Amino acid sequence: MLGRVLKRWSSIALIVLLPTALAAGCGQSKDSSTAIRNEGSDTMVNIAQAWAEEYDHKHPDVHVQVLGGGSGVGIASLIDGNCDLANTSRKMKPDEIEKARQKRGAEPREIVVGYDALAIYVHKTNPLESISLAELAALFGEEGTLTKWSELGLPPNSQGSDKIIRVNRQSGSGTYFFFRETVLGKGKDMKLASVDANGSKDAVSLISHTPAAIGYSGMGYATEDVKMLKVSRRRGEPGAAPTLENARNGIYPITRPLQIYVIGQPAGPVKEYLDWILSPEGQEIVMQLGYVPLASKESSK
Amino acid sequence: MNDASTPVKTTDARRPGIARRTVVDRAEPLIEGLIRLCGWSAIVFVFAIFFFVFWGAKSALFGGVSLVEFFTSARWQPTSEVRPEYGIFALLVGTLSVTVLAMAFAVPLGLGAAVFISEFCPGKPKEILKIVIELLAAIPSIVWGFIGYMVLGPILIETTGAAVGVNLLNGGIILALMSVPIIVSVGEDSLKAVPDSFREAALSLGASRWEIVYRVLFPAAKHGLLAAVLLGVGRAIGETMAVLMCTGHAVQIPRGLLDPVRTLTATIASEMGESVAGGMHYSVLFLIGLVLFLITFIVNLAADLVVKGVRNEQR
């Protein structure tokens, strides 16, 4: 939550300060600098920031501004014309595509730039090693009946409480949608009364403070105080650990594409920037930050 | 003594300043107009905000959402793909339970502190206490939230055996600590406003200190004390950031002090950013804003009526 709030404030500060800074800067620098506005998913904000910094080094004439806020915020901003590129960790919804078409007069285009694997986190003292998608569905899904750690085979009260504390995400976030669709299946709802964290980092931090908790978040958010579970597709099968290889070759079951949306056919500096992101250089950054880069065949096209 | 000496001083001061006085006289209508504008602008702002929130909520209000379901259903599933449900009953209960719990802690603590500062505390510690309590009021709510989340949460898990540290009790304690400074400073002011002759009369009748506080000061200062409590309630209901971090943000009707809950304000804060602008979810969040508006209106109205009732009784 705190991270998110700070991000909000820093974006507000950016909005307020940027025009002033630009106005002040204009006198000195050549007027040729182009700005690319990049906004959206909190999951992707670290990558987007790293891309922007690296690209600014290489191309001093192009300035990339990055804002977080969430996938929905980025899409809303793209629809309103307040940004050029929207980072999203979910697909655009049909009503959003329709709105974009009406307001901007062109089709939004989707470019997959990498993958994210959602890891299942528990407290570091939790003896559980592996969990199946069916068990996760029984835990998080509306019709699910799994509520106690003893039902997962843990010794009674080893986590201070037998009740499983489900750490969920706020219901608008891209991560929430992705988890719901992948684990519960299409057209299913989450069980209410979960503890909803307001950001990827906050979910992990809450789990690290709560021995009886289980939750999900991007695998780049792991810390020393939490443990990532192996995940299997069926109960009893050996689980796959959330690693780069397992995520890219599809052995790890909870993997999602990260994408950038742009309105119409990209051209000029925006196109160059997107091409660079898909190049081995851009993909190297995805790798360094703990996300899953595109396989080399995908990135060269 | 003071009353007698002031008029003399002012007449002395006025004599050499005749020219200045005419300037002040000329500026007076201007200043009067400015002050009038300030007064009216408050009304304009309130109506403008109300209208803005109402406008945002209108598509939910007229036809989008069944108001019966809205108020009585405890199911808040705004982003469901099957059937979005907008029932705020659990959120209403969350807001009310956190507020009531916070007041259960804050009212005795705040009024007790106010009585101590105004009646029992000697000179120097009194000044220090007042400054420290004012400092307490200056702590931003995000910091309170952080304390609840990082410090109080783990403590609650260890001491109470709660399954999760961010819960109703955590939110209640943090909100109580946030409202105490307001209750203390307003309460202390109203106790101080009770004339000393009341205390002297009670003393001369042989009343103990406790009897003076309980039988004389409380009845005499009850408007002010009520205002102090209601200001505390207002702070607790409207608080967003701290409760978002401390209450656990879980859509459920709490069955105990250690259950996580979710409040109306926190729901708006966490979901507004990612709801589709102009969509039904977005509009329903505005409708929640309208409900909050209504709750504070009722609290204020109740306070007004109670105070008026008390006044009439005294006559």
Verify whether the Cβ–Cβ distance B276 to A160 is below 8 Å.
no
**B154: nearest CA partner in chain A:** A209
Q: Is the Cβ of B257 closer than 8 Å to some Cβ of chain A?
A: no
Chain A / chain B CB contacts < 8 angstroms: 109
- DSSP letter string, chain B: -HHHHHHHHHHHHHGGGHHHHHHHHHHHHHHHHHHHHHHHHHHHHHHHHHHHHHHHHHHIIIIIS-HHHHHH---EETT-SS--EE--HHHHHHHHHHHHHHHHHHHHHHHHHHHIIIII--HHHHHHHHHHHHHHHTS-HHHHHHHIIIIIHHHHHHHH--S-SSSHHHHHHHHHHHHHHHHHHHHHHHHHTS-HHHHHHHHHTT--HHHIIIIIIHHHTHHHHHHHHHHHHHHHHH--HHHHHHSB---S--SSTTS-B--HHHHHHHHGGGSPTTSHHHHHHHHHHHHHHHHHHHHHHHHHHHHHHHHHHH-
Q: Does B87 touch chain A (CB under 8 A)?
A: no
The nearest alpha carbon in chain A to B149 belongs to A206
Distance from CA of B50 to the nearest CA of A (A): 25
Q: Report residue A201's pLDDT band, with 50, 70 and 90 as the boundaries.
A: confident
Q: What is the pLDDT of residue A44?
A: 86
Say if the Cβ atoms of A198 and B149 lie within 8 Å.
no
Mean pLDDT, rounded, for B256-285: 90
Q: How far apart are CA B202 and CA A207, in angstroms?
A: 58
Model confidence at A224: pLDDT above 70: yes
Query: For B206-235, how does the pLDDT look when each residue is reduced to its tens digit (9 = 90+)?
Result: 999 889 999 999 999 988 898 889 888 988
Per-residue pLDDT tens for B106-165? 999 999 999 999 989 888 999 999 999 989 889 999 999 999 999 999 999 999 988 899
| pLDDT reported for residue B313 | 60
Q: What is the mean pLDDT of chain B?
A: 87
Q: How does residue B86 score in pLDDT terms, banded at 50, 70 and 90? A: very high
* Single-letter amino acid code for the residue at B147: I
* B279 min Cα distance to partner chain A (Å): 9
DSSP assignment letter at A41: -
End-to-end Cα spacing for chain A: 38
More confident residue, B25 or A124: A124
Q: Looking at residue A48, what is its pLDDT?
A: 92
Say what the pLDDT of residue A28 is: 38
Check if the beta carbon of residue B33 is closer than 8 Å to that of residue B50.
Answer: no
| Residue in this structure with the two tokens 């300060």, named with its chain if needed | A17
- Would you call B273 and A70 a contact, using CB atoms and an 8 Å cutoff? yes
Is the CB of B270 less than 8 angstroms away from the CB of A196?
A: yes
What are the tens digits of pLDDT across the range B33-76?
999 999 999 999 999 999 999 999 998 888 778 889 999 999 99
Say yes or no to pLDDT of A29 above 50: no
Contact across the interface for A171 and B157, Cβ inside 8 Å: no
In a 3-state reduction of DSSP, which class is residue B46?
A: helix
Contact B274 A72 (CB under 8 A): yes
> Minimal CA–CA distance to A218: which of A163, A291, A158, A166?
A291
- The interface predicted TM-score of the complex, written ipTM, equals 0.80
For tokens 């955590």, the residue is: B170
Contact (CB<8Å) A193/B251: yes
pTM, two decimals, is 0.77
Across the interface, whether the CB atoms of A160 and B79 are under 8 A apart is answered no
Cα B114–chain centre separation: 17
Q: Give the chain A residue nearest B84 (alpha carbons).
A: A189
Residues 142-181 of B with CB under 8 A from A: 142, 145-146, 149-150, 153-154, 157, 161-166
Considering only residues 191 to 250 of chain B, which have any Cβ-Cβ distance to chain A shorter than 8 Å? Answer: 241, 244-245, 248-250
C-alpha separations of A81 from A102, A108, A277, B300 in Å: 12, 12, 22, 42
pLDDT tens, residue by residue, A147-187: 999 999 888 777 888 899 999 998 888 789 889 988 998 88
Chain A closest CA to B53's CA: distance in Å? 20
B73 touches chain A (CB under 8 A): no
Mean pLDDT of chain A: 84
- Find chain A residues with C-beta within 8 A of B142's C-beta: 2, 5
Give the integer Cα–Cα distance in Å for A273 and A52: 9
- Work out the minimum CA distance from A238 to partner chain B, whole angstroms: 29
C-alpha gyration radius of chain B: 25
- The pLDDT confidence band at residue A22, using thresholds 50, 70 and 90, is very low
Closest by alpha carbon to A39, among A261, A277, A289? A261
Give the DSSP letter of residue A180: I
Distance CA A164, CA B164 (A): 10
Closest-CA distance, B240 to chain A, in angstroms, reads: 12
Closest chain A residue by Cα to residue B273: A73
At residue A18, does pLDDT exceed 50? no
Give pLDDT, residue B4: 44
Residue of B nearest to A172 (CA): B274
pLDDT of A46: 83
Cross-strand pairs, A110: A261
Provide the percentage of residues in chain B whose pLDDT is more than 90: 62
